[in-house]
């Protein structure tokens, strides 16, 4: 195809078929004076630059795992949690077991990924991971033992489902009591390690799904929108309806509400 004789839509279709342009085609496109062709070429170049940046980001996020594989740990479990801060619902942890680096575009700390993209990324993680463990601790146990201990317990439950395969755990910002294999605690691990980022996605999507189910049971609280976090809408619902059966009564402002109404946890 001669670029000069092609329509704008044909040029776009041609460019979309390439990940890397032959130099002769690139020169021909540069020489085309049509604004539409130049616009398409600039867009194509920008997209390739973004793809290259994403490849480099993800490659760097496997650095810690590569170091541990080189030291002899063959199978690594990345562990993270979702739901330490909300006023309602469970805390959920995941352990994603990996034995090789893989590329999933957009895999990152779950807070940096949209809900729609998280669902698609989760499917890719499930295809690539050796195994996945999920641990859930409900609001009642959170109130009994406090959120930190409940988080440890959720992580232990996630790990216990895959423990026979895991030789080393990479954990986001914590060291889990009661886990016998070696652990590395990584501050901001979900932004530094792909296995922890994968666990972050699994934990977040699992918990969000649970909160959407709770929203059907307790529709007046809007759990499907805020997932139990402390939004203005959530607090107004508590003031109007009181705590639901899944609220964490040991958390403020639930404790304040109970005190104002002369009630105990």
pLDDT recorded at residue 183: 98
Q: Domain check: are 170 and 195 in the same one?
A: yes
Cα separation, 227 vs 250, in Å, equals: 18
Compute φ and ψ for 61, nearest 5 degrees. -75, -5
Do 152 and 179 reside in the same domain of the chain? yes
How far CA 226 is from CA of 80, 98, 102, 128, 187, in Å, comes to 20, 32, 32, 30, 26
pLDDT digits (tens, 9 = 90+) for 13-69: 899 888 888 898 888 899 898 999 899 999 999 989 999 999 999 999 999 999 999
- The dihedrals phi and psi of 94, each to the nearest 5 degrees, come to -135, 150
Residue 4, pLDDT score: 85
Check residue 263 and give its pLDDT. 76
pLDDT for position 178: 95
Q: What is the pLDDT of residue 58?
A: 96
Residues 34 and 52 occupy one common structural domain? yes
The last residue of a domain, from among 17, 36, 61:
61
Average pLDDT of 165-188? 97
Same domain (yes/no): 112, 208: yes
| Residues 38, 80 share a domain | no
Q: What is the pLDDT of residue 11?
A: 85
- Would residue 15 count as lying in a domain? yes
The domain of 157 spans: 72-213
In this structure, is residue 66 part of a structural domain? no
Provide the pLDDT for residue 265.
Answer: 58
What average pLDDT does range 145-163 have in this prediction?
98
Distance CA 151, CA 92 (A): 8
Which residues touch 23 (CB under 8 Å, ≥6 apart)?
none
Residue 132 lies in a domain: yes
Q: Are residues 204 and 252 in the same domain?
A: no
Nearest 5°: phi and psi at 261? -100, 10
Looking at the fold, whether 92 and 152 belong to one and the same domain comes out as yes
Model confidence at 127: pLDDT above 70: yes
- For residues 90 and 177, membership in a common domain is answered with yes
Question: Rounded mean pLDDT of the chain?
Answer: 95
Given this model, what pLDDT does residue 82 score?
A: 98
Given 213, 230, 251, which residue is the final one in a domain?
Answer: 213
Least confident of 89-98, 173-182, 253-262: 253-262
**Residues 76 and 203 placed together within one structural domain of the fold:** yes
Predicted confidence at residue 20, as pLDDT, reads: 87
Judge if 89 and 117 occupy the same domain: yes
pLDDT of residue 264: 66
Q: Is residue 67 part of a domain?
A: no
Per the structure, how many domains does the chain have? 3
Is 237's pLDDT higher than 90?
yes
- Pick the more confident residue, 20 or 146: 146
Q: Is the pLDDT of residue 141 over 80?
A: yes
Phi, then psi, of 32 in degrees rounded to 5? -70, 130
- By percentage, how much of the chain surpasses pLDDT 90? 83
Q: Are 126 and 108 in contact (CB under 8 A)?
A: no
Does residue 240 lie within any of the structural domains? yes
| For range 163-167, the mean pLDDT | 96
Residue 201 has pLDDT above 90, yes or no: yes
Among 61, 85, 106, residue at a domain's last position: 61
State pLDDT tens for residues 68-80. Answer: 999 999 999 999 9
Q: Are residues 8 and 136 in the same domain?
A: no
pLDDT attached to residue 249: 97
Q: Domain check: are 99 and 182 in the same one?
A: yes
């Amino acid at each position: 195809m001669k670029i000069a004789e092609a329509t704008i839509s044909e040029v776009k279709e041609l460019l979309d078929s390439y990940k890397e342009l032959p130099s002769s085609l690139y020169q021909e496109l540069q020489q085309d004076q049509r604004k539409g062709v130049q616009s398409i070429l600039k867009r194509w170049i920008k997209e390739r630059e973004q793809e290259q940046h994403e490849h480099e980001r993800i490659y760097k996020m496997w650095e810690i795992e590569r170091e541990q594989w080189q030291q002899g740990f063959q199978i690594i479990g990345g562990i993270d949690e979702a739901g330490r801060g909300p006023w309602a619902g469970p805390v959920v942890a995941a352990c994603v077991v990996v034995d090789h680096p893989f590329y999933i575009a957009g895999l990152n700390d779950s807070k940096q990924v949209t809900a729609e993209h998280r669902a698609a990324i989760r499917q890719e993680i499930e295809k690539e991971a050796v195994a996945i463990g999920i641990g859930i601790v409900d609001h009642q146990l959170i109130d009994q033992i406090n959120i930190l201990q409940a988080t440890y317990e959720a992580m232990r439950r996630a790990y216990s489902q895959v423990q026979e395969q895991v030789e080393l755990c990479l954990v986001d910002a914590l060291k889990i009591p009661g886990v016998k294999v070696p652990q590395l605690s990584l501050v901001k691990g979900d932004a530094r390690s792909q296995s922890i980022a994968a666990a972050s996605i699994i934990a977040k999507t699992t918990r969000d799904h649970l909160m959407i189910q709770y929203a059907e049971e307790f529709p007046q609280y809007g759990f499907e929108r805020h997932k139990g976090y402390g939004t203005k809408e959530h607090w107004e619902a508590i003031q109007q309806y009181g705590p639901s059966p899944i609220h964490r009564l040991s958390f403020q402002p639930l404790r304040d509400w109970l005190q104002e109404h002369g009630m105990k946890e």
